[in-house]
Amino acid sequence: MLQYGTKIVAGVTPGKGGTEVYGVPVYDTVADAVKEHEADASIIFVPARFAPDAVYEAVDAGIKLIVVITEHIPIIETAKMIKYAKMKGARIIGPNCPGIINPENSLVGILPPRAFRKGKVGIVSRSGTLTYEVSELIKKELGQSTVIGIGGDPIIGTDMVEVVKAFDEDPETEYIVVIGEIGGTMEERVAQLKKKGLIKKKMVGYIAGLTAPREKRMGHAGAVVYMGMGTFESKVKALKEAGIPVANTPYEIKDILLSL
């Protein structure tokens, strides 16, 4: 993140206050850090058992954007910390996500910079690896405005619908790419908004999970089906009925975007 140009003003590790890492001062608490520096975002890397407390600490210190990279946080703890953040007017991205990048400007997360170039496509994705792959594929011809990996857990702080709405209002974004996967209903809800005319910008969808065996439980925590919604077929059908073209493979996304 430092190499990319993100302004990292402080680090926080209890017991390490007074030290430095790559020239960045380290503090024992977030409260100590914000007394000395202006900060509008926090990124959480700590192990799952400590992550919720790290979120609460950032929220209580007045930080309004919190990116949680940590995976395997118990769902009940995730639900509590997201509710608390919303009550305090803070936004969480994640948990279990790669973060957010505004190409050639700022990176808050673990996305590989080589895959991104300033452009006009906003990407929202539930899959970290697919985020990088699709970004790399469209980098040369189109580039990206902002890319957000929202995370694959069943409960997340910022969902796909919120991000798509934000992209629709963003003057730097001309096209929106939605990278979904089986489970949950976010993609269907995005399709409903588009169908009602509430999303104006041109969109392309891709759903991972075509070959997932129906009888087998998949590893992603968010891969839960609800009463006919959440399947690969239901998501593709909803997107297409809303007039959103759906790529069969990640490689088709660029071709569809260039044809819009």
Longest dimension (CA), the chain: 57
The mean pLDDT value for 28-42 works out to 97
Q: Is 72 a catalytic residue?
A: no
- What is the C-alpha to C-alpha distance for residues 202 and 254, in angstroms, rounded to an integer? 13
Interatomic CA distance for residues 77 and 89, integer angstroms = 18
Q: What pLDDT band is residue 194 in, cutting at 50, 70 and 90?
A: very high
Amino acid residing at 158: T
More confident residue, 217 or 85: 85
Task: Report pLDDT digits (tens) over 147-184.
Answer: 999 998 989 999 999 999 999 999 999 999 999 988 88
All structural domains of the chain, each given as residue ranges with its CATH number in brackets, are 11-93 (3.40.50.720), 99-259 (3.40.50.261)
pLDDT at 230: 78
pLDDT of residue 220: 55
pLDDT digits (tens, 9 = 90+) for 114-145: 999 999 999 999 988 999 999 999 999 999 99
Q: Which of 194, 220, 235, 254 is catalytic?
A: 220
Give long-range contacts, CB 8 A cutoff, 24+ apart: 7-14. 7/106, 9/33, 9/37, 9/38, 9/39, 10/34, 10/36, 10/37, 10/39, 12/54, 12/57
- Structure tokens of 247? 């790529």
What integer pLDDT is reported at residue 20 of this predicted model? 97
Q: What is the pLDDT of residue 182?
A: 86
Distance CA(40)–CA(180), nearest Å, equals: 29
